[in-house]
Amino acid sequence: MNLRRLLPAGDPVAVAEVTDELYRRALPTRTAARPYVMLNMVSTTDGRASVGGRSGAIAGPADRELFHGLRGIVDGVLVGAGTVRAERYGRIIREEPLRRRRSERGQSPEPLACIVSASLSLPGDIPLLREPGARVAIITTSAASLPAGGAHIDYVRAGREGALDLPGALAELAERFGVGTLLCEGGPRLNLALLAAGLVDELFLSFSPLLAGGDAASGGGLRILAGAELEPPVELELLSVLESDSQLFLHYRVGSPAAPARV
List of domains in the chain: 2-11+32-45+59-213+221-254 (3.40.430.10)
Q: Minimal CA–CA distance to 208: which of 98, 88, 46, 76?
A: 46
- For residue 260, the 8-state DSSP code is P
> What is the helix, strand, coil percentage profile of the chain, to 5?
30, 30, 45
If phi over 0 gives left and psi between -120 and 50 gives alpha, with beta otherwise, what is residue 146? beta
- For residue 196, the 8-state DSSP code is H
What 3-state class would DSSP assign to 179? coil
> What beta strand segments (E) does 102-235 contain?
112-116, 135-140, 152-157, 159-160, 163-164, 181-184, 202-208
Q: Render each residue's pLDDT in the chain as its tens digit; 263 residues.
A: 899 999 999 999 999 999 999 998 887 777 778 999 999 999 999 999 888 878 878 889 999 999 999 999 999 999 999 999 999 999 999 999 999 999 999 999 999 999 999 989 899 899 999 999 899 999 999 999 999 889 999 999 998 888 899 999 999 999 999 999 999 999 999 999 999 999 999 999 999 999 988 875 555 567 899 999 999 999 999 999 999 999 999 999 998 544 333 32
CA-based radius of gyration for the chain = 18
**Interior CA angle at 78 toward 240 and 57, to 5°?**
65
| Exposed e or buried b per residue across 243-257, where buried means at least 16 C-beta atoms within 10 angstroms of its C-beta | bbeebebbbbbbbee
